[in-house]
Amino acid sequence: MELIGGVVPGGINLIHLQDVTKTYRSAGGGEVDAIRDITLDVRKGEIFGIIGHSGAGKSTLIRCMNLLERPTRGTVKVGEVLLTDLGERGLQRERRKIGMIFQHFNLLSSVTVRDNIAFPLKLAGQKKPAIARRVDELLTLVGLQAHGDKFPSQLSGGQKQRVGIARALAANPEVLLCDEATSALDPQTTNSILSLLMDINEKLGLTIVLITHEMGVIRSICDRVAVMDAGTIVEFGNVLDVFLKPSHPVTRQFVDEMSDLSDGAPLRTRDNSRLIRLHFVGEETYQPVLFEALKGSPVQCAILQGTVSRMKHTPYGQLLVELSGGGPGEADAVIESLRASGLDVEVLPE
Amino acid sequence: MTWENINWDEIWQATQDTLTMMVFSMIFTVILGLALGVLLYLTSSRQLLYMPALYSVLSFVVNILRSVPFIILMIAVMPFTEAIVNTTIGVKGAIPPLVIGAAPFFARLVETALREVDKGVIEAAQAMGASKWDIVRRVLLRESRPGLLAAVTVTAVTLVSYTAMMGTIGAGGLGDLAIRYGYMRFQTDIMIVTVVILIVLVQLLQVLGDRLVRRISRR
């Protein structure tokens, strides 16, 4: 399989999966590939999202990155180390450099928040005073200074996930794997956890890989995304590119779940009009391009639908516009002038 | 009914014997049963040390020991008791049969308690680079503490009745007193006193156990 994503100038690959396949024996005795021939790279410092419906294989894929699931075939490299070549001891050592958080937090219920966060430090054999200092730092980082001596059962979901994050970061990992980290949280808590993750990514330069079935998560914090379906990656690239112009049906489904833009056909109000969809990305989102293009033209426009939003730091917008009036070719001229101003114009079929 | 047969010194001595048997057999039962229970858990299917052959053997042995009624088991193991403590009577001779009878029972309870530990927490520990030993020590045994303590309580109560049975083959203790005086000599007053003491003992164990479980439960 070709290398999806590839090595892009300036980006150092931190995780490299090569032809990774994981086969499970099903109950009936047959074999099922949970993921099949996946090759992908995660770059140092990015937030990399994997989206897919349940059963698409994203959970298996993220578990192959720290070998919680050992691939049936293929290799996994994190940093300079080929994890698939390591024995148990070596793997345990490498896993300390890979943090992980979970949908259901997976905290020890029998010990306090402090002891939960200290867990990986104790595993690493650190001394008590050093552990106490580090735990204090982490509690501050995730905003739980006041809750160190509580037990997990006394915390809310969002607070539990913060403990999970602090614990995952305790041993200063290079990568943080997030397994549906916000799926058990309400929307508001989800946002606070996502902004914490983005904060950590920017402040500590930590590479983050996350899996989710929520488009909103990908849109708000990811740099690049892989869309999974039936055990393979069906679409891959920068979040903006993938979601502004989805090519695979599954991707389109995810995009549609988020926006309420329809295909426009039922919205047509006048005969002999043209329907166009405009895509704005970045600064042009705020420019009066439509006004400029229509200035001095007999063509009239009606905005049928529209949205202006953000993907991570990039503003983007979509407008569904109906052009009417004017002579033949004049609507075409407007479209041309919109294109000339750098806009992406999609002419919808009659 | 009169209470003329009661010799409180003898009753006190018997109570002490029962308690001594309980304490020592409990110590060995917990050590052996915990190890056996952890091994049963780890070698069972989809666990950290999945070994179907070993699991089958262990499970078979445990089932055999548990299916023999204790009153028969305590006699059947006499040669073994003789071999390790050089006697089959008295408090000393009572400990091996009590442990052999109670440890497999406790081991099953331990296995069940460990199964209650959230698999996600084990996975999280693995992801943090914990070894199998780390997981047993820092996750399994810690997370299952309430369940383990409940298992200790149940086993202790069972041991009370086992020590009474041991009284019939010369172990001494309250069971011995009840049988020799209460049953063989029709001294009902002694029977009643021993039964009351046994009931109080069981109640105390249960209340104490329940309190401790409640104290360490954090769910």
Q: Which of A181, A184, A230, A161 is nearest to A49 (CA)?
A: A181
**β partners of residue A209:** A48, A177
Distance from the Cα of B134 to chain A's closest Cα (Å) equals 8
- Minimal CA separation from B129 to chain A, in Å: 4
Q: How far is CA A131 from the centre of its chain?
A: 32
CB distance A93–B129 less than 8 Å?
Answer: yes
CB of B165 closer than 8 Å to CB of B71: yes
What is d(CA A37, CA A196) in angstroms, rounded to the nearest whole number? Answer: 33
How far, in Å, CA of A116 to CA of B38, rounded?
23
Report yes or no on B23 lying in a domain. Answer: yes
Nearest chain A residue to B127, by CA: A95
Question: Where in chain A is CATH 3.40.50.300?
Answer: 13-97+173-257
Tokens representing A348?
Answer: 């919808």
DSSP annotation of A286: G
CA B214 to chain A, closest CA, distance in angstroms equals 12
Helix, strand or coil, per DSSP, at residue A7? coil
* Long-range contacts formed by A236-242: CB under 8 A, 24+ apart: A236/A4, A236/A5, A236/A40, A237/A5, A239/A49, A239/A311, A239/A312, A240/A281, A240/A311, A240/A314, A240/A316
Structure tokens of B217? 């439960």
Q: Which stretches of chain A are DSSP H helices?
A: 58-64, 88-95, 113-123, 128-141, 157-169, 187-204, 215-221, 239-244, 249-258, 289-294, 330-340
The dihedral through the CA atoms of A112, A114, A116, A118 has a sign that is: negative
Residue among A89, A98, A106 whose CB faces B124 most closely: A106
CATH 3.30.70.260, chain A: domain bounds: 271-347
- Asked whether residue B2 is assigned to any structural domain, the reply reads no
Q: Which domain holds residue B23?
A: 8-216
Task: Express each pLDDT in B3-39 by its tens digit.
Answer: 888 888 999 999 999 999 999 999 999 999 999 999 9
Residues in A closer than 8 angstroms to B131, CB to CB, are 88-89, 92
Query: Are residues A104 and B120, on separate chains, in Cβ contact within 8 Å?
Result: yes
Q: Are B219 and A108 in contact (CB under 8 A)?
A: no
Task: Quote the pLDDT of residue A1.
Answer: 36
CATH number of the domain encompassing residue B38:
1.10.3720.10
CA distance B24 to chain A (A): 29
Contact A185, A193 (CB under 8 A): yes
Q: What is the DSSP letter of A223?
A: S
What pLDDT is attached to residue A322? 86
Please say if the pLDDT value at position B151 is more than 60.
yes
Q: Does B215 touch chain A (CB under 8 A)?
A: no
CB within 8 Å of B12: residues ≥ 6 apart:
none
Give residue for tokens 């780890």.
Answer: B42
Cβ <8 Å between A110 and B145: yes
- The DSSP bridge partners found for residue A13 are A43
Residue B192 lies in a domain: yes
CATH classification (class only), A271-347: alpha beta
Residue A32 in tokens: 């099922």
Residues B219, A102: C-beta atoms closer than 8 Å: no
In a domain, B1, yes or no: no
Taking the Cβ of residue B139 and every Cβ of chain A, the question of whether any pair is shorter than 8 Å is answered with yes
SS3 (DSSP) at A143: coil
Task: State which residue of chain A sits closest to B141, comparing Cα positions.
Answer: A110
Per-residue pLDDT tens listing for chain A (350 residues): 334 444 444 578 999 999 999 999 887 778 889 999 999 999 999 999 999 999 899 999 999 999 999 999 999 999 999 999 999 999 999 999 999 999 999 999 999 999 999 999 999 999 999 999 999 999 999 999 999 999 999 999 999 999 999 999 999 999 999 999 999 999 999 999 999 999 999 999 999 999 999 989 999 999 999 999 999 999 999 998 888 888 899 998 888 777 655 554 556 667 778 888 888 888 777 788 888 888 888 888 888 888 778 888 888 888 888 888 777 788 888 888 888 888 888 887 76
- For residue B104, CA distances in Å to A8, A49, A109, A120, B64 come to 61, 50, 28, 34, 9
CA distance A107 to chain B (A): 6
Tokens of A304: 């049928």
Q: Which of A46, A232, A116 is nearest to B124 (CA)?
A: A116
Q: How far is B177 from chain A, CA to nearest CA, in Å?
A: 44
User: Looking at chain B from residue 14 to 73, which residues have their Cβ under 8 Å from any Cβ of chain A?
Assistant: none
Residue B3: inside a domain: no
**Which residue out of B128, B136, B215, B216 would a mutagenesis test of the A interface target, given it has the greatest number of A Cβ atoms within 10 Å?**
B128
Assess B137–A contact: CB distance below 8 Å, yes or no. Answer: no
Structure tokens at A254: 């995810």
CB contact under 8 A, A120 and B142: no
Distances (CA, A) of A64 to A61, A68, A76, A232: 5, 6, 7, 14
Q: Are A102 and B130 in contact (CB < 8 Å)?
A: no
**pLDDT the model gives residue A313:** 80
CB contact under 8 A, A109 and B126: no
The ipTM is 0.87
Chain B residues inside the 8 Å CB shell of A172: none
Helix, strand, or coil here: A225?
Answer: strand
HSE of B190, CA atoms in CB hemisphere, 13 A: 26
Domain count, chain B: 1
Q: Are B121 and A88 inside 8 Å of each other by CB? A: no
Collect all residues of chain B within an 8 Å Cβ-Cβ radius of residue A152: 218
Say if CB A66 and CB A177 are below 8 A apart. Answer: yes
User: What is the third-level CATH fold of A13-97+173-257?
Assistant: Rossmann fold (3.40.50)
B142 has a chain A CB within 8 A of its CB: yes
Pairwise CA distance, residues A316 & A308, whole Å: 6
The mean per-residue pLDDT over the stretch B92-111 comes to 96
A307 beta partners: A318
Query: Under an 8 A CB cutoff, do B126 and A68 touch?
Result: yes
Chain B partners within 8 Å of A171 (Cβ): 128
pLDDT of residue B45: 87
A316 vs A331: CA distance, rounded Å: 24
Residue A112 carries which DSSP code?
-
Beta bridge partners of A306: A319
